Structure 1
Amino acid sequence: MMNLNHFAKQLCLAVSISLTFAAAQAGTLNKENSPAVYPVKNLNIGALPVKTIVPITAKTKQQALEQAKIIAENPNADMAEFRIDLLDFASDSKAVIALGQELNQILKNKPLIATIRTANEGGQLKISDADYESTYTEYLKQPFMQLLDIEMFRDQARVEKLIQRAHQKNVLVIMSNHDFDKTPAQQEIEQRLFKQDEMGADILKIAVMPQSKQDVLTLMNATFNVSQKSKKPLLTMSMGRLGTISRVATANMGGSMSFGMIGEASAPGQIDVAQLKQFLKTVQPTP
């Protein structure tokens, strides 16, 4: 568990920085360019307050069901992410679909994100582009999810087909990119997010690894700039302990969602969802 005093100091610093930055940029704000809002189950994704996502990190079916029940009962968790690549049987599509349907029922009014995080992006599953497309296509025949995470740097033609199939089934697309080694330049981060927008993603996601405090600010500044030019909701984060504060501070920078955890984290730097929800309430703009 994170030391709250240490985190509070970080939080105060980040809020001060983010509010100062926002004030300095106030003249550039475009109120007509507010994020698109997607009604999904009982949530309006893209609208304030910032939504919390808790990952299901199970290896077995029973563990996944137990984690889903905990998320369903936790008022601080708004959504769940089903990390399919972490399952012992991730390659068995029929078993995954059956489990996904059960998870969706357990979660009731809480949306479910389906994610295969590949080894290319820091996940556990090594999979070819062809198998990636065919597996997601199988899931989308009778979707058990409301949102689907698609990695932007897979084969572009296959990615475009998956986006089309998801939209035909009224499934929202989170397009994602992860860099576990570094934080790209601010311009590069922005270009990747704008590319996701151009490709038809509904929600734009990037996660980067900071090597310095400046890297954390780079991610937040990029988030702010993209939020002023794109209507798509943003899910951006600076990972690791150094970047933990970004999971809260991006609420001031145009972010629409943030990952928390109950028990085991799915990525470095995640905060307990109860703490995350409280911090978000403290720093985010009033709806």
Structure 2
Amino acid sequence: MGATVTVRGVELGAGRPEIIVPLTGAQEQVVLDQAAAAAGTVARVLEWRTDLYAPGSGTVEHRDAVRNLLPQLRESIGEERCLLVTLRTAAEGGGRALTDHELGDLLEAVVSTGHADMVDVETSRDPEVVQRVVRAAQQHRAVVVGSFHDFGATPGEDELVALLQAQRRMGVDVPKVAVMPQHPQDVLRLLAASTRVAAAQEGPHIAISMGSLGAVSRVAAEAFGSAATFATAGEASAPGQLAVDDVERMLELLRP
């Protein structure tokens, strides 16, 4: 077994992949209600999609709103679950258009509260901004997921491997790629790339093929080396996400 990453007793990269459930509400009570529903499932990691929260608010107002809700949200999900905080930008399919430095400012503000166990940063952004987030997370003992999304296509196998390796060199704890297949061969390339990266045993990563065609990557994650998968306890945050109970059963049925 290679290196793993542990946060709140959840060990990424060992055994069955973790199930991550997104929280996508636009208002405070909706987010808290979604968190309560997700906490009633087997999922041990909840992802707050902050880009979908407080739509229409300005950048500073939005950042303050996120910071204000974090303590209550962190407390509400219980000590045994991890909170992953994500702002998915419009450039990668998310709900808010931010400059690199605006994104860095928000993510630094998030980790500085001490209430985010994990934080997502898009690795296609300015490398200096990515490094700012990594340093801030290290200071506050938060795990960094370094992510890349392509909602239009699937890069080649070698390119995917190189991308995951480059993300790790940036200092992120968990590299992540999520790409869209156009035909079955795209899914095979994603799975092959994931297997190659896992074989290096340098640490956990997440590799997802999106949409209905890529659903197999979500439920057969363990066989192909991916440390986590995303599933819903309500509204989905990306194409092809399945219900958490279904994913749990399939992960067990397909364990290698």
TM-score, normalised via structure 2 length: 0.95
The range that moved more, 263-272 or 140-149, is 140-149
Q: Distance in 1 between matches of 2:75 and 2:51?
A: 21
Superposition deviation, residue 82 in structure 1: 0.3
The range that moved more, 113-122 or 36-45, is 36-45
What is residue 98 of structure 1 aligned with on the other side?
68
What is residue 268 of structure 1 aligned with on the other side?
239
Q: Distance in 2 between matches of 1:125 and 1:143?
A: 23
Which of 86, 93, 109 does residue 52 from structure 2 map onto? 86
Q: Distance in 2 between matches of 1:188 and 1:39?
A: 28
Superposition deviation, residue 284 in structure 1: 2.0
Q: Distance in 2 between matches of 1:39 and 1:234?
A: 13
Which of 212, 221, 229 does residue 258 from structure 1 map onto? 229
Q: How many aligned positions are there?
A: 251
Q: Distance in 2 between matches of 1:207 and 1:39?
A: 22
What is residue 196 of structure 1 aligned with on the other side?
167
Gaps of 5+ in 1: 1-33
What is residue 248 of structure 1 aligned with on the other side?
219
Superposition deviation, residue 124 in structure 1: 0.8
Which of 88, 94, 116 does residue 123 from structure 1 map onto? 94
Work out whether residues 113 and 149 of structure 1, in 8 Å CA contact, stay in contact via their aligned partners in 2: yes
* Structure 2 counterpart SS, 1:268: coil
Which of 8, 19, 22 does residue 55 from structure 1 map onto? 22
Work out whether residues 78 and 111 of structure 1, in 8 Å CA contact, stay in contact via their aligned partners in 2: yes
CA RMSD in angstroms, aligned pairs only: 1.2
- The one-letter amino acid paired with 1:260 is A
What is residue 114 of structure 2 aligned with on the other side?
143
% identical aligned pairs: 35
What is residue 171 of structure 1 aligned with on the other side?
142
Q: Distance in 1 between matches of 2:187 and 2:28?
A: 36
Q: Indicate yes or no: 2:41 matched with 1:41.
A: no
What is residue 227 of structure 1 aligned with on the other side?
198
What is residue 152 of structure 1 aligned with on the other side?
123
Work out whether residues 5 and 204 of structure 2, in 8 Å CA contact, stay in contact via their aligned partners in 1: no
Which consecutive aligned stretches of 4+ in structure 1 deviate over 4 angstroms post-superposition?
Answer: none
Q: Indicate yes or no: 2:35 matched with 1:64.
A: no
Superposition deviation, residue 258 in structure 1: 0.4
Structure ID, larger Rg: 1
What is residue 213 of structure 1 aligned with on the other side?
184
* Structure 1 counterpart SS, 2:112: coil
Work out whether residues 211 and 240 of structure 2, in 8 Å CA contact, stay in contact via their aligned partners in 1: yes
* Deviation per residue, 1:88-115 (Å, 9 max, x gap): 2563222211212111111111101000
* Structure 2 counterpart SS, 1:242: coil
Q: Distance in 1 between matches of 2:141 and 2:255?
A: 29
Work out whether residues 17 and 221 of structure 2, in 8 Å CA contact, stay in contact via their aligned partners in 1: no
Gaps of 5+ in 2: none
Bigger proportion of residues as helix: 1
Q: Indicate yes or no: 2:151 matched with 1:180.
A: yes
TM-score, normalised via structure 1 length: 0.85
Work out whether residues 54 and 273 of structure 1, in 8 Å CA contact, stay in contact via their aligned partners in 2: yes
Work out whether residues 111 and 119 of structure 2, in 8 Å CA contact, stay in contact via their aligned partners in 1: no
Q: Distance in 1 between matches of 2:92 and 2:201?
A: 24
Q: Distance in 1 between matches of 2:38 and 2:221?
A: 23
Work out whether residues 223 and 250 of structure 1, in 8 Å CA contact, stay in contact via their aligned partners in 2: no
Q: Distance in 1 between matches of 2:94 and 2:63?
A: 17
Superposition deviation, residue 230 in structure 1: 4.2
* Structure 1 counterpart SS, 2:220: helix
* Structure 2 counterpart SS, 1:140: helix
